[in-house]
Structure 1
């Protein structure tokens, strides 16, 4: 059994995704833990058949789900790798993990993986979506989930991190090939994001990750978010969509890519802004 790292995976009705992920990491012989949020399909049976330890926990949001997972599994390895069920570990990343040497990473607390995101079978290569680095491998009991975020889930580690640029995780949610599923999912996400932004306006939420444009990928994201929150609502979705399409060459992603950039970069952000105004109006009416 691998004693260097374990895998933690979040699931909910992932019978079409989980076998792909488990197959891609099977040869690493690492302890695997699955936190499920009430699947009604064969997800948990697939996980258990693969030898994974399975726990159940009701889903509230991704940051809190990761927080529960990191605190409640009996992890015995110094490192954990946190993946979503719709991820796949590429052979290049598999090789990096297979050859991972703890002695060479004594001063490192976190490792960023490079992600390739797919929509309706197409790799979204432009529009700021590649390269895209996610902190996925952390020292256990050192790293933690940022529960000050309501939707954007990220892991946080103090100290040094490194980036593996060549090893990739592939992210492709096959359920999102049905645009109705995508819209329903992002409608729920827009609720979370609108409430979060209202709470930030009221200073009820603070950023844990320090802001630094030239820092780690997450520090740069934190810096950009601060600028985003200051932009005028309704204008910022249009600016962001234009930035992705023109300046980040999203137009080169073809028709499918343009649909993705429009829906994720404009439509979703516009819905969030509309809901923010609705929430502010509701608060004002209740205060009268």
Structure 2
């Protein structure tokens, strides 16, 4: 017998993705959207599709995800991002594995990263995976920005990939990285780290080189270069925002 499933998502201005997300998870017994007070049609679309919407102030990613988990009626959780798409094969594999978990309390899924309409196969993305299916009794999120799932028990890996349809708009993707940079700057400020030339010059250059050269991002063509560049620049923005916090600048 298949246990009941709750599908969760945290949202902010996701009107372009929310309908696809909800329809792809039609097999879940419960769908809950925790929204950070979107100012577009995200909430309206979700409510029209008869899913539960709760609005909650965003503090950091782990807090928001853990808040969402606490709203779930069922133990087994599907927690995908809005730019991730569940295929029929993956859906069937999820149901099969949580029906007979064999002692496992979470499952990792490999992600096929797509950027600006192109499949990205290098730059570190080739090893991308995330725990998206888990039993809430044994798992919780930790970390302010690149949050990770702390798993108290055994975990497995699913065979079918998750389509990670990342932003088709450069501006939207850059805005996402800007949010990450801001949250990371706040974390470093709390640790009383003061940025210097090493942080402004070496750290961004290292991030670009690691992604574009050492992780073979150049094999993805211009999209690989753009990804390495914006991620390197996001590192620079992290320390710029940290520097501004010390000078009480907005």
- Which TM-score bucket, shorter chain as reference? 0.7 to 0.9
Is structure 2 residue 166 aligned with structure 1 residue 151? no
Question: Which residue of the partner structure matches residue 189 of structure 2?
Answer: 198
Deviates more, 1:233-242 or 1:125-134: 233-242
Are residues 1:14 and 2:14 paired? yes
Contact (CA 8 Å) 1:15, 1:42: kept in 2 or not?
A: yes
Q: Which residue of 1 aligns with 2:66?
A: 67
SS of equivalent to 2:21: helix
Matches of residues 43-192 of structure 1 in structure 2 within 5 Å? 43-71=42-70, 73-75=71-73, 77-102=74-99, 104-146=100-142, 149-164=143-158, 166-174=159-167, 177=169, 179-192=170-183
Q: Are the equivalent residues in 2 in contact too, given 1:5–1:79 (CA < 8 A)?
A: yes
Number of matched pairs: 243
**What SS does structure 1 have at the residue aligned with 2:160?**
strand
Aligned partners of 1:91, 1:251: CA distance in 2, in Å?
32
Unmatched segments (≥5 aa) in structure 1: 203-231, 284-288
Q: Cα deviations across residues 182-233 of structure 1 (Å, max 9, x unaligned)?
A: 334432321211221233467xxxxxxxxxxxxxxxxxxxxxxxxxxxxx42
Q: Which runs of 5+ in 2 are unaligned?
A: none
Match of 1:251 in 2: 218
What is the TM-score of this pair, normalised by structure 1? 0.76
- Say which SS state the counterpart of residue 161 (structure 2) adopts: strand
2: CA distance, partners of 1:112 / 1:262 = 28
1:236 Cα deviation after fit: 2.5
Aligned to 2:204: 237
Cα distance in 2 for partners of 1:21, 1:271 equals 31
For 1:105-132, what per-residue CA distance to the aligned partner results, in whole angstroms no more than 9, with x for missing partners?
2421211111122221122211001221
Matched residue SS, 1:67: helix
Counterparts in 2 of 1:81 and 1:21: CA distance versus 1, 3 Å: same
Asked if 1:5 corresponds to 2:5, the answer is yes
